[in-house]
Every structure is written in C-alpha cells, then in structure tokens.
Structure 1
Amino acid sequence: MINNRKCYLFTVIILLFIGIHQPIFAQNQDIQTGEASWYGSRYHGRKTSSGEPFNKNDMTAAHKTLPFGTKVKVTNLDNDESVIVRINDRGPFVGDRIIDVSEAAARKLQFRGKGIGNVKVEILELPGDYASTDAGFFTIQTGTYANYKNAQQLTAKLKAFDKHLRVELIEEQVKGKKVHLIRAGRFDNRQEAEAFNELLKEEGLSGLVKEA
C-alpha cells in the first residue's frame, strides 16, 4: 500500500496517531476534500496497521489520523459516485493525498484505472465512545521551552511535517517558572501514538507519549 511506506515501520507506525489530528478536516470538522489513491493485490493478505489482514475486496481504507474502525463516506467529486469504507490502516504517505482506499472501493468510485481521484471524505461514525469528551486519549509532548519563540518554531516544524496534525501550544507554570509545552496529535491508544512518534523521530521531532 502507499507507495512511500517505509517497510514495516508503517505497520507499526501505523498504529498511528491520530487522534493525531483528529483530522482537522476542512472548515467542517467532519469533512475533508483532496486526492485519494488506492491499493490492491500487492498488499492483499498483508497485515494492516490495525493488525487485521488487508483484503483488497473489502470496503476499507487507510487514513493518517482517524481512529481504526471509523466509518467514512468517500465521494468521487468528478462523478458523484460514493462508497462507505471502514478505516483499518494508516496512510497514504505520498504528497497531500488524504485517503488510500481498497481496490474494491476504487472500482466503485470509478477511479481504479486512473489511479487517483478527487474526493470528499465525510465522517459517519467514530468507533465506540471515541467522540465522548470523557474518553481518554494519548498525545505526544514534543517539547518544553522557556522561550516562546523557540516553542513557536517547533510548532511550525510539526505543522510543516503534516499540515493536518493537531498541535497545541500550552503555557504552564513549572517550579514557579513559565514554560511552553508543545503537544502533537490526539491518539486513540498508546500504540498509535508510539507509531506516529517513530515517524516524527525520523525528522528529529519526536517526543514523549503521554496519556491525556
């Protein structure tokens, strides 16, 4: 799947973040538009980031940040064809693509032959009580700075790494001194946070995974 998948890291990685983002979808937090791609036979039977085997004939998809089990409606903006898929993998990690659907889904959306399509992704259902404000989640504390400008610089680097990444710059008092904490992502579980942290490590941006 995903052309630029760094081997197995992205299968761990893949227990990704999410939360990371909570994909800060467009202006409407439940809608995202952009380019989609698909993957099929080459990855058929391989383990996905969620741990289940990939089946090119199932209505599933890979997304960088949505929790595994999330159901989304994907609409091809060029022909108005749509399908409902379940997120069970991480990606795509090529350019600005926003979702990587299974071969079966690409066929129904009618962009299998073309390889990519312009789509709208709408969240229909989050797994369990994930949307509850009382639900626990994990985040990555990527830095603690006394200097606000340094904190801003790291925040900008994280945003440059992934423009959809949820990054929080928080001011706190530590031992009587003002410090600025940077937290990246909002993950459903520790495994996803740790996996995304591995991606950040390659860019020198990793931090400490913490339960929020």
Structure 2
Amino acid sequence: MTNPKLLYAVLILLVLAGCASSPGGTDPSSRYTISQDRAPSGSFDASALEDARPRYEAPRRAGNKSPYTVWGKQYQVMSSADGYVDRGIASWYGEKFHGHKTSNGETFDMYTMSAAHKSLPIPGYARVTNLDNGRSVVVRVNDRGPFHGDRLIDLSYAAAKKLGYQSRGTARVEVASITVRPDGSMTLAGKRYPEAAAPVAVAEQTRETGEALYVQLGSFSQRSPADGLRDKVRQQTERSVRVRKVETASGLFHRVQVGPFGSADEARRAQQALASRGFDQAIVLTDSR
C-alpha cells in the first residue's frame, strides 16, 4: 500500500519544481530564499511596457551547453532557432527568481520582457501570442526552463501580465522565434519579419508620434503614494520627475516617471543609477510626452 505521507511529499516536490536558472543535475531550488514563486506585492502597471527590441547578438557559450540535464531528464539546445514555431502552455516566474542569475549569467528582472525556454539558443528573441485573447508580446530569451513536462515557455511576470494570464498562472500560447542576422535583417519563424525595417531614431520617433523614453519607478491606483515616491526620487536625481495619470484597461494608474530621455542608452544609464540607489523596480518604457 502506498504511504500517504510519501505521496504527499512527492506532490509537494513536483509543485516546487519550476524554472531552474542554472541547468545541471542538482536541485537548483536551494539557492532561493523564497520557497514558492509569487507575484510582486502591490499594483504593477505593465500596459505601457515596451516589448523587447530584437537585435543581433553574437552566439555565446553561456547558457547553451548541450545536452544538459535537469531533474534527471536530458535536454538538447537547438543549433539555430530559424524557422521555429510551436504551441503549448506558458507559465510565468517572478519574485522567487527576481535578482538571481539566469542561465547565461544575466540578472533576472521580473519587470522586463524576458523568457525561459528549454531548447532555444540564448540569448534570442521570440514572439509569444496568447491563443485565448490574441495578445502578443516580444520577449528576449535568456534563461532555461520551465521544467514541468507540459510547459513550453516561462515568461517574466511583466510579460505574462501584458498577455493577460498572470492571475491564472498559465495560458495556451504560440511561440515563434525571431532570428536577427548580423546585417540587422530579421525573420519570424523563418519568414521575413514585417517589423524588420531599419529602426527609427529615437528623436524622429518622438517628433512623429509624441512619444519619448522614460524611466518608470512605480505605478499606483491612488495618487498619494505616487506623489510620495515622486518627492523621494527628486532628492536622488536632477532629472525631471513627473506623475502621469493614465486610464488603462485595468483601471486608473498614476505613473511616477523620470525623463524624457533622448536615447535608449541614456535611459538605461539612468535606470541603472536609480536602481543602485534603491529604486529596484525601475523600468524603461515609451510613453507620451
């Protein structure tokens, strides 16, 4: 007769076996201070968060060991993602892994548009479409997982929220690889990527669309905490800081933003500087002037 306590222990282990950011033959979960993954506390407005912007990145050894073994199962990394498209179940990972290293040595940030995949070369890019509501996002694949047998891809919490399934935990999705060649040309699942035209300079984009780059430090349903954060940020930067009220499908939000910035590099430098001063939820996004 099966021991009920043993069966219960096995089930618990299966629940906790999620994304392993350092593939190998050992249990990676011991590295984390939180035993079970969870969403960040408070309201996080992902509606204006930019998709990952595909660009050519030379192949690296980090994160691409093949084959590799996790939980006793062996996986192969594709030599090329060109033409890849598949459908399956997407999950997401968040606070448990936030701030820890991904498989290629980068730091996982649950507020950026990233993903983990068992076999796509990393770093790489993919378009992920929620088959239940038609929403799509572009993510940068920089991690390995998920290692549940029925899961195809693990998205960051932010990407899952943009696709509208963060509260349910999983969704049926289509994953199509975006291949970027050294000359900047792109293909989506082996076909020319329609958005692969030459990138528009930030200054031109700002003039034509009325949008600019900002570093967003928080988004609140109430005005008072937004004003409090704005005042705190003003003590840490000489840049302009604003609270922008925005109506979204999820309701009214008050966004605390620093900027505008004239280039993506300038915005990222400001993001890093603010993160070093304790504003670790800073994200770069395009928003209206």
Q: TM-score, normalised by structure 1?
A: 0.52
Tell me what 1:40 maps to.
94
For structure 2, the residue ranges without an aligned partner over 5 or more in a row are 1-14, 25-62, 68-74, 184-289
| Contact kept? 1:23, 1:29, Cα under 8 Å | no
**Structure 1 residue 100: deviation in Å?**
0.2
Task: Give yes or no for contact 2:80–2:121 (8 Å, CA) kept in 1.
Answer: no
Secondary structure (helix, strand or coil) at the match of 2:177 reads strand
Q: 2: distance between equivalents of 1:101 and 1:81?
A: 14
RMSD: 3.0
1:49 alignment partner AA: S
Change (3 A) 1:29 1:37: same
Q: Which of 125, 129, 147 is equivalent to 1:75?
A: 129
Amino acid at match of 1:120: E
Match of 1:114 in 2: 168
Answer with 1 or 2: which has the greater Rg.
Answer: 2
- 2:106 pairs, out of 16, 37, 52, with 52
Change (3 A) 1:112 1:127: farther
4+ residue runs over 6 A deviation = none
8 Å Cα contact 1:17-1:64 kept in structure 2: no
Count of residues in Structure 1 that have an aligned counterpart in Structure 2: 124
User: What TM-score results when the alignment is normalised by the length of structure 2?
Assistant: 0.38
Matched to 1:4, the amino acid is A
1:17 to 36, 49, 66: 66
Shift of 1:22: 2.3
Cα separation, partners in 2 of 1:77 and 1:15, compared to 1, 3 Å: same
3-state DSSP of counterpart to 1:85? strand
Any unmatched runs of 5+ in structure 1? 130-212
Counting only pairs closer than 5 Å after superposition, residues 1-212 of structure 1 correspond to structure 2 as 3-5=16-18, 10-13=21-24, 15-17=64-66, 20-22=76-78, 29-125=83-179
How many angstroms apart in 1 are the aligned matches of 2:80 and 2:181? 17
Q: Which amino acid aligns with 1:43?
A: F
Equivalent residue letter for 1:17:
S
Q: Percent identity?
A: 42
- d(CA) in 2 for partners of 1:98, 1:66: 11
Higher relative contact order (CA 8 A, sep 6+): 1
Aligned to 2:22, what secondary structure does the other structure show? helix
Structure 1 residues 3 and 75: alpha-carbon distance in aligned structure 2, compared to 1, 3 A threshold: farther
Query: SS of the residue aligned with 1:99?
Result: strand
How far the C-alpha of 1:5 sits from its partner, in A, is 4.9
